[in-house]
Amino acid sequence: MLPAELTQILARLRDRAHHMPPTQLQQVLAREWGADWRRRFAYFNATPLAAASIGQVHRARLPDGRELAIKVQYPGVRESIDADVDNVATLLRVSGALPKELDLAPMLAEAKRQLREEADYLREGEQLRLFGTLLADSPHYVVPTLEPEFTTDRVLAMSFVEGIPIESLGASTQDVRDGAMRSLIALVLRELFEFRLMQTDPNFANYRFQPATGRLVLLDFGATRTVGEDTAVGYRRLLEAGLAGDRDAVRDAAVAAGFLGEAAVTRHRPLVDRMIDVILVELTRDAAFDFGDRAFVGALRDQGMAMAADRETWHIPPIDTLFVQRKISGTALLAARLGARVDARSMLVEQFGRMTAQAEM
């Protein structure tokens, strides 16, 4: 929705994350761990493995030989959250990207709350440990182990897990790409429908891959949030209607779940139905879905842009849905990036079948 010029500025800011100078890093860790913190390590690399907008990650080794990944939060990040979100809201208003009638206040308030949670590393450590428990029975995922001795509200310590960037799988075989994305999609379904707990940040850097085992390494649980029952039920009804190829049921479920506003359906029913038909063709096809084939996206974009021109019908979905959809859309984007082919329809049918069987027990 943003003008191209503003998008380019924000992209440059995102890509230019700088790490802390050694002196500042020393000050931060001395404050969190005490002045003699280095004596507790056999090795600590002051050059970060990665640097992002909230913190940077270092590799370290304990005297007993255990390798750790240690995330250190930048000073002042937590204190700047409210001002940063307000500045983004100002950019949106000044740019005219959004109609004045849209009430952004609830969304901005939730963004601030979410970012405060992401900046609380004690909370993230709890989520890390919880996901390790939830996925302990699955051979497809690796979750680092929390190291509570070195974890504070601004430093997060965990076991270091080897892996390659997941986006580098673009050069791998089709089977490897398909398998990795099948595991990730299965995880999203379990988060939404079984755990009712979802890590909602789909940043590619949050996933790594182990070629030798075929397992996904899951990183960064700061954006984990519970999924409300209404949200999960809304997604299930929408997807089950899609699997059945029932256009009317899809439309009704989309409105009930808050994906579509009543005004958009009333004023643009033919456009809405054409978009649903495009999606149903893909969802009801008895074959693996080729995420790399983006031909259908153009058709959806054309219909969507025609609807978007009528700004009076713009609609903000429920906050919970926005965060869940962020994860789903980001997962689909990664699948497209890798050109993966996954029988998502069969996965949905299997997921809902399991849920029905469990409910009947």
Residue in this structure with the two tokens 């997941």, named with its chain if needed: 166
Distance in angstroms (rounded) separating the CA atoms of residues 165 and 211: 11
Give me the catalytic one of 201, 220, 277, 310: 201
Q: What are phi and psi of 68, to 5 degrees?
A: -120, 150
* DSSP β-ladder status, 141-142 and 215-218: parallel
DSSP state letter for 20: P
Q: CA 164, CA 204: separation in Å to the nearest integer? A: 11
Kindly compute the dihedral angle of the four CA atoms of residues 194, 195, 200, 206, in this order, to the nearest 10 degrees: -100
CA quadruple 324, 109, 206, 352: dihedral, nearest 10: -10
Exposed (0-12), middle (13-18) or buried (19+): which is 330, by Cβ within 10 Å? Answer: middle
Structure tokens at 245: 């190829």
Instruction: Look up residue 74 and give its DSSP letter.
Output: P
State residue 246 phi and psi, 5-degree precision.
-100, 100
Alpha helices in the chain (DSSP H): 4-15, 22-33, 77-95, 105-118, 121-134, 174-190, 229-243, 247-257, 262-267, 269-283, 295-308, 319-338, 344-360
Name which of 176, 172, 197, 177 is nearest 187 in CA terms.
197
Length of the chain: 361
Instruction: Scan for tokens 């640097």, then name that residue.
Output: 51
Give dist(CA 193, CA 242) in Å, integer. 17
Residue 201 annotated as catalytic: yes
Active site residues: 201
